[in-house]
Amino acid sequence: MTMFGEREAQILSTWHKNVDCWTEAVRQQQIESRRLVTDEAVVAAVLSCQPQTVLDLGCGEGWLTRSLTRQGLSVLGVDGVEGLVAQAEALDGGEFLAMDYEAIVAGGLQRRFDVVVCNFSLFGEASVAQLLGAVPGLLNPGGSLVIQTLHPKSACGDGTYEDGWREGSWDGFSEAFVDPAPWYFRTVESWVLLLRRSGFGKVEQQVPRYPLDGAAASLILMASAA
């Protein structure tokens, strides 16, 4: 079990079980929000920082690492799921490394970057808090952290708008996905407070929206180390 607890271990276990179907969903553009809004939004957010080096933290099957590499950047994609890293390495574009968040928190990644980006890769409670506390040590002077996550106001659903664990779901995905994991819900205010406690100063918020109805597709948080 991960040092972060049973729920956090379940999150990692779920991704190990869904490597192939996740890779197919991303590469076949089966996820509407990504296709219409969020993929382009996170690439634009990273490029707006004008980096030369980028750490794609929780890179999955590697699409963002490859996209940024095609922009001429030096990008390292890191993920704790070895199967996803293997899928990423099977395609050209970018450098990849299998390493989980525990190892990163423990100082296992001895490199610094202009931007660290976490694109829909922060699902836990303690793991996320400790990982974000370690990110300033991964940034070059003047570097930035870019997070894209579900927008809390949209993702809250029928639940109360307060921090806490939520049941997972693969609604909207193919029936091939199994064992949905729980995830930790944070309000917008809690995200900002967590970033400030982690050693970041000003936090900028962006809300990518669907083109037809203007609904929030995600929340992007951009922060520089204090």
CATH of the domain at 204: 3.40.50.150
pLDDT score for 210: 96
pLDDT score for 93: 87
Residue 137 lies in a domain: yes
Residue 65 lies in a domain: yes
pLDDT score for 4: 82
- pLDDT tens-digit readout, 44-93: 999 999 999 999 999 999 999 999 999 999 999 999 999 999 999 999 88
What is the residue range of 146's domain?
6-225
Residue 1 lies in a domain: no
pTM, 2 dp? 0.96
Residue 195 lies in a domain: yes
| 222 φ, ψ (degrees, to nearest 5) | -125, 125
Collapsing DSSP to helix, strand or coil, 136 comes out as: helix
In whole angstroms, what is the distance from residue 73 CA to residue 65 CA? 9
b (16+ CB within 10 A) / e for 23-57? bebbeeeebebbebbbbebbbebbeebebebbbbb
Per the CB < 8 A criterion, the answer to whether 30 and 5 are in contact is: no
Instruction: Give strand pairing partners of 223.
Output: 145, 203
In whole angstroms, what is the distance from residue 97 CA to residue 57 CA? 10
Number of domains forming the structure of the chain: 1
pLDDT score for 71: 95
Residue 181 lies in a domain: yes
Point out the residues of the chain with pLDDT beneath 70: 1-2
Residue 21 lies in a domain: yes
Alpha-carbon distance values, 61 to 74, 97, 103, 142 (Å): 17, 11, 20, 29
Please give the span between the terminal C-alpha atoms of the chain, in angstroms, as a whole number: 34
Residue 56 lies in a domain: yes
Q: How many CA atoms lie within 13 A of 89 on its CB side?
A: 12
pLDDT score for 2: 66
Residue 154 lies in a domain: yes
